[in-house]
Amino acid sequence: MVTVNLHAFGEFVRKHRPALEVRAAKLCAGSAVDSTELVGETLERALSVFERLQDQDTAAVAQWLDGAMSRCFSRMGGQLPDTRAAAPDLQQTFDLLRARFREVYAQPAFGKSAGVPGGWRM
């Protein structure tokens, strides 16, 4: 049996719990899963691997906690949202870029007409 330094784990919880609560509230919005229970389940998982987590940097710990929370959420019956961004319409993107290009290059470079015959054309 592995013993855990409870003081160190308490510090770990104080450091990471606020971010976990925010993430849990977002995940649980509109679902039957209770965000407080989700945070508790996630921290329980963290306790089981705490010795390994102690040796990691903050970003790695945050990534592990995020993954653990997602897995706990799924096990508790929650549906993870589809996080893939919808691809923008290519023509719409091109039109926006063209308009922005014209807006930027229609302005004189140094406060007066740059003397370009005929101006810019696209």
Q: Which residues contact 59 (CB under 8 A, 6 or more apart)?
A: none
- Look at residue 61 and tell me if it is in a domain: yes
Task: Choose the weakest-confidence range: 15-24, 47-56, 85-94.
Answer: 85-94
The total number of structural domains in the chain stands at 1
Residues 20-67: tens digit of each pLDDT: 999 999 988 888 888 999 999 999 999 989 988 888 899 999 999 999
Distance CA 38, CA 88 (A): 34
- Look at residue 106 and tell me if it is in a domain: no
User: Domain range for residue 34?
Assistant: 6-75
> Which one-letter DSSP state was computed for residue 78?
-
- Look at residue 68 and tell me if it is in a domain: yes
- Look at residue 93 and tell me if it is in a domain: no
